[in-house]
Amino acid sequence: MKYLLILTAFVFSSFTTFSPNHNFKVESNNLIWQKVYDSDQTVFELYESLRGHGNYEKIYIVREEIIFTFTFDSGNELGAHGYKRGSYPNYLKPGGKYTGYLQKKGDRYRVTITGVNFNWNGDLVENIDDAALKRGELRDNNRTKKVIQLFDRYFNSKFSLIKEARNGNW
């Protein structure tokens, strides 16, 4: 009986830990993160808020869209969301950068992260698509699920300066 309880607890925890509750999806053989928010902020107010909350390499406004490239440090920024140096794949250790954009439509904004690149000895050589996708599909292994969930938590907190939409329809 004790063995059955332990096995049931392990299966349940594995299921909840690695369930597909994340904002990543595959489009045109590329992995993107996308989320919709409600906000009455102007594009300029949102731009100013983002500038104050990250290490941006580039951030600018084009019409009603904010285009950005942010850098991240694995130990500091991802560490706050569960990253531990020895328990994640090597390509996460040095950090990297990600690109994306915010679009405004009425009182809603949609954040789209189109690429995450990882540093390796100072050079950007690993893309999240190479690490997480196989033949245009999300890899079904614990390593990939762990990285996807880490970045989902990180992006959720990064863009939490806007209220999440009641529904995700764009």
DSSP reduced 3-state for 113: strand
What confidence tier does 162 reach under pLDDT thresholds 50, 70, 90? low
Q: Which residue has the tokens 């690490």?
A: 131
Residue 49's pLDDT is 84
pLDDT value, residue 35: 93
Mention the CATH class of domain 22-164.
alpha beta
Q: Tell me which of 1-15, 70-84, 91-105, 134-148 is least confident.
A: 1-15
Q: Look at residue 121 in the predicted model and tell me its pLDDT.
A: 63
Say whether pTM exceeds 0.85.
Answer: no
DSSP 127-157: EHHHHHEETTEE--SHHHHHHHHHHHHHHHH
pLDDT of residue 93: 82
Buried b (16+ CB within 10 A) or exposed e, 12-37: eeeeeebeeebbbeeeeeebbbbbbb
The structural domains of the chain, with segments of one domain joined by +, span 22-164
- Average pLDDT of the chain, as a whole number: 80
pLDDT at 12 over 50: no
**Residues contacting 54, CB < 8 A, separation 6+:** 70, 158
Spatial CB neighbours of 1, under 8 Å, sequence gap ≥ 6: none
Percentage, residues of the chain above pLDDT 70: 79
> What tens digit of pLDDT does each residue of 101-155 get?
999 888 888 999 998 988 866 665 678 888 888 888 888 888 889 999 999 999 9
| 77-81 long-range contacts, CB within 8 A, separation 24+ | 77/154, 78/150, 78/154, 80/157, 81/150, 81/153, 81/154, 81/157
